[in-house]
Amino acid sequence: MSEQQPSRRDSARLDILRQELLSPVVSVDGHADLLQGLIKNTDCLADLEKIKTAATQTRTLVAAMLAAETENLAETQRDNQRSGFRHDLRNSVGAISGYSEIILEELEDADELSEDTRVYLDHLQTDSNKLLDMLDTLFQDDHESGTDSESALDLDIHSVFDSFDRSEKEDTETITGRILVVDDNESNRNLLSHQLQQQGHEVSTVASGRQALDLIPESAPDLILLDLFMPEMNGFDVLREMHQDEALRAIPVIVITGLSDRSAAAKCIEAGAFDILLKPVNPVLLKARVAGCLERKAWHDKEQAYQQELEKSYTFIRKVFGRYISDEVVQEILEADDGMQLGGGKQQITIIMTDIRGFSMLSQELDPQDCVKMLNNYFGVMTPLIQKYDGVINEFLGDAILAIFGAPVVSDDHAQQAVACAIEMQQAMGEVNRNHHTWGLPSIEVGIAVNTGEVVVGNIGSENRSKYGIVGHHVNLTARIESFTVGGQVMVSEYTVAALGSPVTVATSLEVEAKGIKNRVKIHEITGIGAPYNLRLEQDEQTVLQLQQPLPVTFNLLSGKAIADEQVNGTLTAVAVDIAHLETAFELEVLNNLRMQLPTFEASEDDQIFSKVTGVVDDTPEQNKYIIKLTSAPLSARDYIRSLAVLPQQ
Amino acid sequence: MAKILIVEDNEMNRDMLSRRLKRKGFEIEVAVDGQQGVEMASATMPDVVLMDMSLPVKDGWTATRELKANEATAGLKIISLTAHAMDGDRQKALAAGCDDYDTKPIDLKRLLGKIKALL
């Protein structure tokens, strides 16, 4: 190895010298060709021919001079030889510069010198001067500095070869892969596959382009070595067909051809070939190109896998979130730089909580199937509405919906979006109940609470099971407000109203106490919201009918979940669909919850009737008159009360 | 009009040099080897001889020495031209009797300066 190195380096030195010396000559040739197209003057064209002749001589002399360098000669002999080449080269290069000067002078005199011509002629001068400079310094180092120091060129050569040596030592493992050899010539096929097998690759072979195309899709090789001239289907057509196919296009192809025609090589590269190797294939080059190709393929595959992984996780996220969030919000989360970091953070958001009035009782009476049908219908109508206002359904809890606005995607108008959404949800109850009617199912009503405040938002739970959720006393407050609502109402906290940008119509306002909130909280029943939403709730105008005979009832006042023992007497004096006027000596307040018994209606222990005080008609002492609304009652009880109301009309 | 004899075996060099000097108004004679150079110099008695050194038949140094040794031609002004451009070339040319020395490829301006200096 160490004995071979100097000769490798010497030959590299000569290669580089040849390249250095020939590039100005190639430039002269090229510019002379260009000038032939520009110059009309016949004398000058003749001189241009002489320049081309001189360029050819120069080329031949350079090759001969460098070939002579490899001869083993005595020093004086070598010096004489070099001097001879130098002399001849100075003459041939001198002819290039001399004739270009002559052409320049003659065209100038004849006033036929175009700008391009001048520039190209200048290049001939520059190139020949460059050559002359190189000839002057070419062998100077040998004379001046002997063998101790090296020229800059030698230093360059050594640095490159030293790097080669290092990389050879580092290359302990070379990349291997599955390679398909496509060649109709059996000897070629065998040689290539043996060479590749020796390099550790897994090789399969086919003898025609058609067979290759049949095999490639299922075998999916890492690399294809493709012959150009084959029966059935030639290599170029294979390339073109592969390029048409999205899946096959990614497989790199090295074309192996005996065709040294440059335009054929260019055509193959254009058609998608990774590289061209000329026959007979040099095994060292083959090894290097195959390794380079496989490495690129490995990177490409890795990138592809990563891409697929990413796509898969996106699809997963879409699937998980898509049930609760609109596509736009999912897209926004996916595209946001920190969108996937759904970690905890305090955030101002608006919360909506809805509840179907008396659903627990209803669910006991209904077929389980009907119950599920009813809920699916209800959620099916509500979900798109919430998404329409950029809300996120955080949870379905039984018949309740917990939706948040302003997270995970931050927005400035989450309060008004939520209020508008709540109003439209109430409006949509008509559609929900129309479906119920078609199916012969009872109508339902929802109460909706809206509250705005700072909560902790993020992924809450353990490593294995976590969900995006919200925590904080504003969540509890929302639930509390929800408990004050009756069917058809949208109750909004003062915090939400303060955050609204749009004007709203307030029907009634109350103050309530809530856990974790120091002061009493004002809540407002909202029946409409202005621009840009312009939504209004049709007021429930139930015709209240006086009963011919007041209906005696007894009731207990509920405090929280507890039912007071004290049983109070009263009478219902008027009824509508689900409201009634209650007269009693007992003093009640708006929002008091009552459990009622109708002595004239037989009910089981489970069939309890709950109602809420929604208004005061008259509060003269000893005989108070309140409006109550049924919040939860068995269907039979509702029907019974309704029958009392419609009876007088019949 | 000054007369210049170009003694040059390289056809392109001869062609270039003669054409360029003619353009400058000189009368030009050419010889293609040293022997012919000596003969033409004796016959035409130019004002300046541009003598290439590596010439066939008789090289430039010999031709120069012969011309300078001959009484009839000893007064001829001879400028040596060489493409070798080695350090010793100048000394060698002057020792042979050349009046001046220049290198090829020709830098016309420089050469004209040398010719004018000798006229």
Interatomic CA distance for residues A501 and A413, integer angstroms = 7
Residues B12, A93: C-beta atoms closer than 8 Å: no
Q: Can you name the residues that pair with A553 across neighbouring β-strands?
A: A570
CB-nearest partner of A83 from B15, B86, B106: B86
What does the pLDDT read at residue A336?
59
- The shortest C-alpha distance from B54 to chain A (Å) reads 9
Confidence class for position A371, pLDDT limits 50, 70, 90: confident
Query: Which carries the bigger pLDDT value, residue A543 or residue A274?
Result: A274
Mean pLDDT across B37-63: 93
* Cα–Cα distance for residue pair A192/A525, rounded to 1 Å: 85
The residue of A61, A85, A87 whose CB has the most chain B CBs within 10 angstroms, and thus the best one to mutate to test that interface, is: A87
Nearest Cβ partner for B105 among A53, A90, A105: A90
Band (pLDDT 50/70/90 cuts) for residue A631 is confident
Per-residue confidence (pLDDT) for residue A613, from 0 to 100: 85
> Has residue A330 got a pLDDT over 90?
no
Taking only the tens place, the pLDDT of each residue in A373-420 is 888 899 889 988 998 898 888 877 778 899 999 877 778 899 999 999
What is residue A322's predicted lDDT score, i.e. its pLDDT?
57
B3-118 carries CATH number 3.40.50.2300 = yes
Whether the CB-CB separation of A429 and A489 falls below 8 Å is answered with no
Specify which of A173-187, A195-209, A361-375, B34-48 reaches the highest per-range mean pLDDT: B34-48
Asked if B105 lies within 8 A of A87 by C-beta distance, the reply is no
Give percent above pLDDT 70 in chain A: 83
Compare all CA atoms of chain B with the CA of A86 and give the residue at the minimum distance. B84
Question: CB–CB of B105 and A132 under 8 A?
Answer: yes
Contacts of A46 in chain B (CB under 8 A): none
Given an 8 Å threshold on Cβ–Cβ distance, is A93 in contact with B105? yes
User: What's the pLDDT score for residue B116?
Assistant: 93
Mutation pick from A90, A105, A136, A143 vs chain B, by most beta carbons of B within 10 Å, is A90
Comparing CB atoms, the residue among B12, B20, B54 nearest residue A87 is B54
Report for A132-146, A534-548, A628-642, B5-19: range of highest mean pLDDT? B5-19
Instruction: Kindly calculate the radius of gyration of chain A based on its CA atoms and give it in whole angstroms.
Output: 47
Q: Which range, of A109-123, A335-349, A424-438, averages the lowest pLDDT?
A: A335-349
Classify residue A34 by burial, with Cβ atoms within 10 Å: 0-12, 13-18, 19+.
middle
Question: Under an 8 A CB cutoff, do B105 and A97 touch?
Answer: yes
In this complex, the residue of A87, A101, A128 whose CB is nearest that of residue B83 is: A87
Which SS3 state, helix, strand or coil, does residue A520 take? coil
Can you give the pLDDT at residue A491? 92
- Mean pLDDT throughout A222-234? 86
| Res A22 pLDDT > 50 | yes
Stretch A202-231: mean pLDDT: 89
* Measured distance CA(A645)–CA(B18) in Å, rounded: 133
Which pLDDT score is estimated for A151? 61
Select from A446, A450, A432, A423 the least CA-distant residue to A534.
A423
Cβ pair A94:B13 closer than 8 A:
yes
Chain B residue with minimum CA distance to A98: B16
Residue A575 vs residue A210, higher pLDDT: A210
Looking at residue A327, its pLDDT comes to 66
pLDDT at A649: 42
Residue-averaged pLDDT of chain A: 81
Q: Which residues of A touch B (CB under 8 A)?
A: 50, 53-54, 83, 86-88, 90-91, 93-95, 97-99, 101-102, 105, 128, 132, 136
- Gap between the terminal Cα atoms of chain B: 11
Whether A340 shows a pLDDT value over 50: the answer reads no
Contact at CB, B84 and A86, closer than 8 angstroms:
yes
Contact B16 A102 (CB under 8 A): yes
* Å between B84 CA and nearest CA of chain A: 5
For chain B, the domains span 3-118
Provide mean pLDDT across the span B10-16. Answer: 92
Interface of B with A (CB under 8 A): 10, 12-13, 15-17, 19-20, 23, 54, 83-86, 104-106, 108
Q: Which domains does chain A have, with CATH numbers?
A: 4-167 (no CATH), 178-301 (3.40.50.2300), 342-536 (3.30.70.1230), 545-649 (2.40.10.220)
Confidence of residue A253 (pLDDT cuts 50, 70, 90): very high
Most confident of A294-298, A476-480, B22-26: B22-26
Q: What is residue A229's DSSP assignment?
A: -
Which of residues A578 and A168 earns the better pLDDT score? A578
Strands of the sheet with B48-52, listed across from one edge: B27-31, B3-7, B48-52, B77-82, B100-103
Cα–Cα distance, B79 to B66 (Å, whole number): 15
User: Which of the 8 DSSP states describes residue A376?
Assistant: H
Distance from the Cα of B65 to chain A's closest Cα (Å) equals: 23
**DSSP output for B79-113:** EEEES---TTHHHHHHHTT-SEEEESS--HHHHHH
Which of A48, A49, A102 to mutate to test binding with chain B, by most B CBs within 10 Å of its CB?
A: A102
Model ipTM value: 0.87
Which residues of chain A make contact with B106, given a CB cutoff of 8 A? 94, 98
**Chain B closest-CA separation from residue A76 CA (Å):** 15
Mutate to test the interface with B, among A82, A91, A92 (most CBs of B within 10 A): A91
Q: Please tell me which residue, A100 or A187, carries the higher pLDDT value.
A: A100
- Tell me the shortest Cα–Cα distance from B101 to chain A, in angstroms: 16
User: Which residues of B are less than 8 Å from A90 in CB distance?
Assistant: 83-85, 104-105
Judge: B83–A54 Cβ closer than 8 Å, yes or no.
no
Euclidean distance between CA atoms B18 and A648, whole angstroms: 138
A628 pLDDT more than 70: yes
DSSP calls for A269-336: HHTT-SEEEESSPPHHHHHHHHHHHHHHHHHHHHHHHHHHHHHHHHHHHHHHHHTTS-HHHHHHHHHS
How far is the alpha carbon of B72 from chain A, nearest alpha carbon, in Å? 33
pLDDT digit string (tens) for A123-179? 899 888 888 888 877 766 554 444 444 566 666 667 777 777 776 655 556 788 999
Which of B16, B87, B109 to probe by mutation at the A interface, max A CB count within 10 Å?
B16
Residue B18 reports pLDDT greater than 60: yes
Contact A634, A584 (CB under 8 A): no
> Which pLDDT does position A334 carry in this prediction?
64
Instruction: State how far the Cα of A93 lies from the Cα of A129, in Å rounded to an integer.
Output: 8
Chain B contacts of A136, Cβ < 8 Å? 85
Q: Which residues in chain A touch residue B19, judged by CB atoms under 8 angstroms apart?
A: 102
Give A57-72 pLDDT, tens digit per residue: 999 998 888 888 877 7
Q: Which of A527-565 are b and which e, b meaning 16 or more Cβ less than 10 Å from the residue's Cβ?
A: bbbbeebebebeeeeeebeebeeebebebbbeeeeebee
CB pairs under 8 A between A and B: 53
pLDDT of residue A465: 57
The minimum CA-CA distance between A44 and chain B, rounded to whole Å, is: 12
d(CA A596, CA A554): 6
| Range of lowest pLDDT (A34-48, A457-471, B52-66) | A457-471
The pLDDT assigned to A540 comes to 58
Note the pLDDT of residue A198. Answer: 81
pLDDT bin (cut points 50, 70, 90) of residue A4 is very low
